[in-house]
Amino acid sequence: MPNDLPVAILGDKNSLSPNAREAIQKLNGAAPWAFTLELIWAWAVVIGFITLALHLNTWWMSLLTVLVVATRQNVLGLLVHDQAHLLGYRGRFGDLGVNLLAAYPLLVLTVEGYAQVHLAHHRDYFGPSDPDFKRKSGPDWTFPMPPGRLARLFLRDLLGINTIALMRGKKPAEANPVFARRNAVPKWLRPLFFLVLIGLLSWAGLWTAFLLYWLLPLLTVTQVIIRWGAICEHEYGAPKATVAESTPLIVLSWWERLLLPNLNFAMHPYHHYFPGVPFSRLPALHRIYEHDGLIEEKHVFRGYGSYLRFITRKPA
């Protein structure tokens, strides 16, 4: 491996005890209540901060609002990720609802489009047909990386220079019938959504607020968060690497989860071993692995800072 990623999880799901497997089986399936609460909270934070920023009309509140809204835009994207696995809603109108409330507001995302990319990543993990691996193979995704180079990448994201490339990576190169959604969302719904949005913003005179407090963070700060999330997701550069060899296990502190909520995405090895377990139940899955003695504690990254130091270290 390029950076000798320490293996934190000792064995895959086949290493679990029968009792552990039975417990994990109960964690599988959609979790609509947790999904809905996270969706409501994300929008409540966005609306609350924007309302307060418009009321106070100060530079520091505007800056804070841009930063906070960006974190919630990232949460919406992560909810789209869970829905791609049908872990939010499995009903006939599940994808439709998540598109309207999470994907379409991010302007370039749809549940069905993201599923085409992401499920292919799961099916051919780090293989020649893995779209994530192909897109993220190169010097910008190879670690260890000097801190200065990583800082320049983040700066380019913050300035919107890398935005188009990052957003394109969430779209499928071509449709794959293997991942077609059973309850297809009508193609006319998305343009209708944008027409209604344009009409409402014009009627309410909220274009300035939309551009400053939604579009600006989406094109800048949110892209920084997306890159950091992708860096924490996998270490690229080694074809056919296993999940254990290429996926760190990062356990966040309470304040990291508060400032940069990521819906337990940093526990990413579990998502690949058990893609049917929703984000809200991944901590319970981690506890099952701990109980079975399958966690190498010294190889668990405790917080983002620990992982950042690891990926920016100089090779021995």
Phi/psi of residue 17, nearest 5 degrees = -70, 160
Judging by beta carbons within 10 Å of its beta carbon (0-12, 13-18, 19+), is residue 194 exposed, middle or buried? Answer: exposed
pLDDT tens profile 121-168: 999 999 888 888 888 888 889 889 999 999 999 999 999 887 776 666
Q: Write out pLDDT tens, residues 104-122.
A: 999 999 999 999 999 999 9
- The answer, yes or no, to whether residue 170 has pLDDT greater than 60, is no
pLDDT digits (tens, 9 = 90+) for 242-294: 999 999 999 999 999 999 999 999 999 999 999 999 999 999 999 999 999 99
CA distance to 93, 122, 297, per residue, from 181 (Å): 11, 16, 40
Distance (Å, whole) CA 176 – CA 116 = 7
* Span 16-58, pLDDT tens digits: 999 999 999 999 999 999 999 999 999 999 999 999 999 999 9
Whether 42 contacts 76, CB under 8 Å:
yes
Handedness of CA 79, 84, 88, 92 (dihedral sign): positive
Average pLDDT of every residue of the chain: 91
- The residues that bridge with 250 in the sheet, in sequence order, are 301
| pLDDT tier for residue 175 given thresholds of 50, 70 and 90 | low
The answer to whether 166 and 223 are in contact (CB under 8 A) is yes
Q: Give which of 35, 13, 17, 10 is closest to 280, Cα–Cα.
A: 35
Query: Got the DSSP string for the chain?
Result: -TT-PPP-B-S-GGGS-HHHHHHHHTT-S--HHHHHHHHHHHHHHHHHHHHHHHHH--HHHHHHHHHHHHHHHHHHHHHHHHHHTT-S--STTHHHHHIIIIIGGGSS--HHHHHHHHHHHHHTTTSTT-HHHHHT-SGGG-SS--HHHHHHHHHHHHTTSSHHHHHHTTS-SS--GGG--SSPPPTTHHHHHHHHHHHHHHHHT-HHHHIIIIIHHHHTHHHHHHHHHHHHH---SSTT--HHHH---EE--HHHHHHS--TTTT-HHHHHH-TTS-GGGHHHHHHHHHHTT-B-GGGSEESHHHHHHHHTSPP-
% of the chain at pLDDT higher than 90: 77
Residue 293 has what pLDDT? Answer: 94
Residues β-bridged to residue 301:
250
Identify the weakest region by mean pLDDT among 6-10, 166-170, 252-256, 296-300: 166-170
* Residue 92 binned pLDDT confidence (cut-offs 50, 70, 90): confident
- Model confidence at 239, pLDDT cuts 50, 70, 90, reads confident
Q: How many CB atoms lie within 10 A of CB 96?
A: 17
pLDDT for 14: 85
Q: Which residue has the higher pLDDT, 250 or 4?
A: 250
Confidence at residue 316, expressed as pLDDT on a 0 to 100 scale:
44
- Output the pLDDT for position 81: 97
| 181-207: average pLDDT | 94
pLDDT band at 1 (very low <50, low <70, confident <90, very high): very low
Which string of b and e fits 3-27 if b means at least 16 CB within 10 Å?
Answer: bebbbbbeeeeeebeeebeebbeeb
Q: What is the pLDDT of residues 60-87, one digit of tens each?
A: 999 999 999 999 999 999 999 999 999 9
Q: Which residues of 254-285 are buried (b: 16+ CB within 10 A; e: fewer)?
A: eebeeebbbbbbbbbbbbbbbeebbbbbbeeb
